[in-house]
Structures are given as structure tokens and as C-alpha cells.
Structure 1
Amino acid sequence: MSFLTLSHIKKAFGPVQVVHDFNMSIEKGEFVSFLGPSGCGKTTILRMIAGFETPSDGSIVINGKDQTSLKPNQRNIGMVFQAYALFPNMNVFDNVAFGLKVAGKPKAEIKARVEEMLKLIHLEHLADRYPYQMSGGQQQRVALARALAPAPQVLLLDEPLSALDAKIRVSLREEIRQIQRQLGITTVFVTHDQEEALSISDRIVVMNAGKADQIGTPSEIYSKPTTRFVANFVGTLNVVEAQVREPASGVVSIADHVLVLPKPLDGKKAGDKVSLAFRPEAASLAPTSSSGTLKGTVISSHFLGSVVRTKVDVQGSTIAFDAFNDPNNPPPISGQPVAIQLNPEGLMLLAE
């Protein structure tokens, strides 16, 4: 049985429909990320779960109890914001203790719980510091501890890492995931950063114009996108036009390159045009003398550390492919003729 259920959620601000009939069930202890561009409705859904916004229609149920009409302070939910939102006049101890004091907990219980939370985020040595004396990453850890201190039934994270620099962002997202697993708390995370969502989520909701285009595991979202939007938004995607040769056998041709797709092309006939998509890792360099390869000219090569991404012009279409960095084998240079081999298992047929 699901722990957090969103049923037929809708939200309109005046004439503008921001969320359209959203449905989802989240299991207890699951880490779910809402991923999408600005204005897609992901933060609005988070705010409705928190109680800061009221759905125009639909219901929100947590642990079997309808929360839809409850105020934020009646929902037992912890929330971490992008801008930390720490109290500047309180030190770290008092910031973390705030929710417990409001709840009227005994002093001894508050002290023990705050010490437990500070140990969890590895900042017990900074209990007496004030927010202005701390780095952004440290402040966000304190905000996380403050949200967790009252033992909420659900933790909500609204783009908590976007204000931090890249290295801190990576380490803190891993720390958040580790703490979430340790506590087993049901967590909803909102982000526009696909790498964040892919790296730490149990499931991802890809939002587009107020709707969930796809809900799935990170592997499903990346490797088996069900819509053109998801395929383009998550990761780098190459799209090429192909011609159907033998639909029952899944045989298509891209220029002079003949491919057999993993599945038959139902509903297609010989001569039809189809759009094929593939990730950069589904293509590789081949000897220029190889038959059945795509011939092209190198546009550019970009050194990305462990990976080199090369872009190639193939009859007017730009194709990007990745190769592991090999110090003894320099990447191709601009203007160099190359041949590209495609892995049929990595090809996706895009719906028109």
C-alpha cells in the first residue's frame, strides 16, 4: 500500500492551469524526484503536498489520512528550501531546535534530539555558530537537520542544492541520499538538474507543462523514454531520419547504413520515414573502410575528463558520440573524415 498518494491533483491560478490531473503513489521510504524545466508545475505539486497551496481539485493522502484541507503545521512534514531560510539571529543549535520548541518538547528531549541531528550532518562542532559564520553547504546541512528534527513523516526538498557550487552540490546530494536511506524517510525532491535526479532517485517524475510525461526509475527514464520530450530533456540525444525497408523485420536504412532494430515496425510500411534516436554511448568510431557505417566529418571534440565527446556532420545531421579518454589515442580533429558504427540495441523509435 502506498504511503503518499496524489489523486487527480489539479491547480489553476486564475485562468492558467498549472497542474493537470496529476496522479501518483509513493511508497514508504521511497526517494522520488520531480524533474523538469521552469514553469512545468513541479514546485507547485511540492507546495500542495506541504500545504502552502491548495489543490483546485483532487486529494492528498499521507499514511492513510487525507491531508488536502489541513494547514502546513498540521501535516507533520519537513521542508528544505533553496535559500536555506535559517533564522539569522539564532545559532545552529537553536535553529535545529526551533520546531521542537514550537511543539513544546521537554528541554532534555530537545537537547538530545538536536545533538543527534548535528551528529547526523557532521556539524556537532559548530553548534554555537550563526548562519553568517558558515558556508552555503554548511547552512543547507543545518536546514536539513532542522527539517528532520521533529521526525516528519515526509521530507520535501525544493531545489536545495541549486545555490551551491558544483563540487559541494555533488557531495551534499550524496549526503542527503545517505541520510534519507539511514532514516528511511519518504522524500520528494524537486530539481531541474537531470544529473541530480538520475544519481540519487528511486523514481523520477519528468514534468512537462503541468503533466507527468513519464514516471520511472532513472534507468527507465534515460534508456527507455516514452515521449520525445523526455528523450530530449534527459541526457544528450541524437535524432536521425531513417527509411523503413522491411517493417516486419525491423530493417531500416540511414543513408547507406542498414540497421535491424530490436523490434518490428508495426504500423509502418516500406518507404515510410521514421525518426530514430540514440544516446552518444550507442555510437562509436569504426575504420573508415568499414561497410555499413555512417560516413561523416568531425565538427569538434570536447574533452570532458574521463570521456571525450565528438560531434560529426553526417549528410547535414550532427551526431554526437562518447568515447573513454585514452592518453595514447588522441581524439579525432576537426575536419577529419570518420566512420560511425551504431548499436541497434541503443536505438529508439520516436513517436511523431
Structure 2
Amino acid sequence: MAFLDIEHLEKAFGILRVVKDFNLGIQKGEFVSLLGPSGCGKTTVLRMVAGFETPNSGAIRIDGKDVVNQRPNQRNIGMVFQAYALFPNLTVAQNVGFGLKIKGVGRADQDIRVAEMLRLIGLPDLGNRYPFQLSGGQQQRVALARALAVKPSVLLLDEPLSALDAKIRVSLRTEIREIQQKLGITTIFVTHDQEEALSISDRIVVMNGGIAEQVGAPFEIYNRPNTKFVANFVGTLNTFDAAVLDPAAGRVSLAGTEITLPQPLVSLTGDRIALALRPEALHLGRFEGREVVLPGVITDVHFLGSVIRVRADVAGASVALDTFNRADTPPPPVGAAAEVSFSAADLIVLGG
């Protein structure tokens, strides 16, 4: 049995169903991200787990106990909000210890726990400062320490990094993951940023229209998307139109080139299907192990430092591919003819 078990969760606001038959089991100590665009229902799921929203139906069990009818303060959950929500009139130490004070923890034990939390977030000497004297990243660390101080069973993070600049986001998400692993706390992280979810999650739940489109490890979500939505939402995607020649054998025709896919198709002979490739699966020129070679024309080149993003017209589609920067090899000029190669095993058949 999962430590945090969500079954058949439903939530509607008026006639608008924002969460539809949502099911998810999270193991103790697991870090799971809810990933999706605005309005997909991910924050509503988080708020129902926290107790800030009441589901229309379904069950939420923590360590085997149904908590749907419990108030937020009865669920032993720590939550970190997007907007920090620190008390401006309290010092950093008082903010971190606020939950302990509410729980009636003695002053001496409060002080020990607060000091422990400030060391954990790397701010051991800032306990006497006020929130306005901290940077945004420091304030979010304090919010995290406050949530963890009460030793919650589950940690909920509602887009905690979205208000920070890009460099701070990268460093802080790494710190959050390290702290989560050190404490072994079961965590749900809500984000619309695919890079965040891919980089720190044990599993990702990709949500769309109130449902979980796919649940899986980052590697699986990125490389083997189950639906068109997941394929397009997670990462950059190149799509091709192909004709089915032999569905049982997985044979298709892409711009006149016959390709055998690694799996049979459910389509019928003569059907058109959509195939996709990630930019890193495409290569300029011929390479060993890249048995499919298609002619193309370079249409755009973007120098990104260690990587060069090239765009080309190939097989009736405009595709992006990545190549490593080499000081002795300049990128191809726009308008140049080129060959693009890839392995049929890297092709993704796009479903619904």
C-alpha cells in the first residue's frame, strides 16, 4: 500500500470539473511532481491533499488513514507556497518556529529545532533578521524550513520557485531535492516547468484537463510519451507525417523512405500516422547506428554555447536538431544542403 494514496478524486467548481477521477499512489520518501499547464488541476489536487479544498468525491489516505474529513491542521502536512507567506513582523527564527509554537512545543525544544532547521537550509546566522532583509531565495528557504520544522508526514510544494530568477531557481531546486532526500520526506511538487520536474523528480504526473495523462519516471515520460499532449508538453518535439505500409511489421513510408519501427502498429495499411523525434535523436550527416538518412536544407542556426541548435527542412517538416559546438568545425550555413540521420528505434508513434 502507498504511503499517500489518492483514489478517484473529483472536484468541481459549479459546473466546471477541474479534477476528474484522479488516482495516484506515492511511496514513503518519494518525490513526485504534478506537471502541466495553467488550469490543468494540479494545484487543486495539492490543495485537496492539504485540506484547503474539499473533494466532491474520492479518498485521500496518509499512512492508511483517510484524511478527507480532517481539517488542514489535523493532517500533519507541511506546505510551501509560491508567495513565501512569511510573517513580516516576525524574525526568521520566529517564522521557522511558528508551527512549533502553535503545537505547544516548549521554548527550549523550539530553539533547538529552529537552529537545526536554519542549519539545514544554510542560514544558521540569520535567525534575528526579518523577511524584508532577505533575498527572494533566502525567504523561500525560510518558508521551507518553517514547513519542515513540525516534522510533517507529507511536504507539499506549490510552484515554490516561480517568483525567483532563473539562476536562483536552478540552485534552489537542487537544494530542495537534497534536503528532501536527506530527510526522506514524502513530497508533492507542483510546477508548470518541465525542466524542474525532469531534473528533481522520482516520478512525474503529467496533467491535462483535470486528468493524469501519464505517470512515470522522468526518463519514461520524456522518451516514451503515451499521448500527443505529453509528447508536445514535455520537451521539444519534431513531428513527421508517414504512411503505413505494413502495420503488423511496423513498416511505414516517410517521404518515400521505408522505415521499420521497433513495434507493430494498430493502424491500417494506407493510414497516415504522426511520428516524432527529439532534437537530440537527429544528427547532421551519416553516423554508425543511424540507419535512416534523409536529405534536407538548413534554414536556421542558433549558437547556444556548448550546443548549436540547427533547424532544417526535412521530409516536408521543419525540424530542430542539436549538435555539439566544436571550435574546429563551424556550423553549417543557412541554405546549405545537408543529410540528417537517425535511428528508427528513436521514433515516437504519437497516439491520442
Gaps of 5+ in 1: none
What residue is the counterpart of 2:334 in the other structure? 334
Query: Structure 1 stretch 83-92 or stretch 313-322: which is displaced more?
Result: 313-322
Q: Does 1:207 align with 2:197?
A: no
Alpha-carbon distance in 1 for matches of 2:39, 2:329: 44
Query: Structure 1 stretch 235-244 or stretch 246-255: which is displaced more?
Result: 246-255
What RMSD in Å do the two structures reach over aligned CA positions?
1.6
Contact in 1 for aligned 2:3/2:62 (Cα 8 Å): yes
Q: CA shift at 1:153, angstroms?
A: 0.4
Instruction: Report the TM-score, using the length of structure 1 for normalisation.
Output: 0.96
Q: Deviations over 1:261-320 (max 9, x none)?
A: 111224432x32211111111111116xx9962222111112223221111112541111
Tell me, what secondary structure is at the counterpart of 1:268?
coil
Alpha-carbon distance in 2 for matches of 1:37, 1:291: 36
Alpha-carbon distance in 2 for matches of 1:136, 1:42: 24
Q: Does 1:71 align with 2:71?
A: yes
**Which letter maps to 1:251?**
R
What residue is the counterpart of 1:279 in the other structure? 278
Alpha-carbon distance in 2 for matches of 1:8, 1:302: 46
What residue is the counterpart of 1:185 in the other structure? 185
What residue is the counterpart of 2:57 in the other structure? 57
Query: What are the residue-to-residue correspondences of 1:82-231 with 2, within 5 Å?
Result: 82-231=82-231
**Which letter maps to 2:206?**
V
Q: CA shift at 1:24, angstroms?
A: 0.9
Identity %: 61
| Number of equivalenced pairs | 350
Q: 1:124–1:314: structure 2 CA closer, same or farther, 3 Å change rule?
A: same
Alpha-carbon distance in 2 for matches of 1:43, 1:77: 15
> After the TM superposition, which segments of 4 or more aligned residues of structure 1 sit over 3 Å from their partners?
none
Alpha-carbon distance in 2 for matches of 1:322, 1:245: 30
Gaps of 5+ in 2: none
Q: Deviations over 1:203-260 (max 9, x none)?
A: 0000000000000000110001001100000000111011222333322221133222
Contact in 2 for aligned 1:275/1:349 (Cα 8 Å): yes
Alpha-carbon distance in 2 for matches of 1:111, 1:291: 65
Contact in 2 for aligned 1:256/1:292 (Cα 8 Å): no
Alpha-carbon distance in 2 for matches of 1:256, 1:329: 32
Q: Does 1:30 align with 2:50?
A: no
Contact in 1 for aligned 2:82/2:160 (Cα 8 Å): yes
Tell me, what secondary structure is at the counterpart of 1:248?
coil
What residue is the counterpart of 1:4 in the other structure? 4
Q: CA shift at 1:34, angstroms?
A: 0.1
Alpha-carbon distance in 2 for matches of 1:265, 1:74: 51
Alpha-carbon distance in 1 for matches of 2:305, 2:65: 49
Tell me, what secondary structure is at the counterpart of 1:332?
coil
Q: CA shift at 1:119, angstroms?
A: 0.4
Tell me, what secondary structure is at the counterpart of 2:97?
helix
What residue is the counterpart of 1:13 in the other structure? 13
Q: CA shift at 1:346, angstroms?
A: 0.6
Contact in 2 for aligned 1:280/1:320 (Cα 8 Å): yes
Alpha-carbon distance in 2 for matches of 1:255, 1:14: 49
Alpha-carbon distance in 1 for matches of 2:86, 2:291: 63
Query: Structure 1 stretch 314-323 or stretch 163-172: which is displaced more?
Result: 314-323
Q: Does 1:297 align with 2:322?
A: no
Query: Structure 1 stretch 302-311 or stretch 131-140: which is displaced more?
Result: 302-311
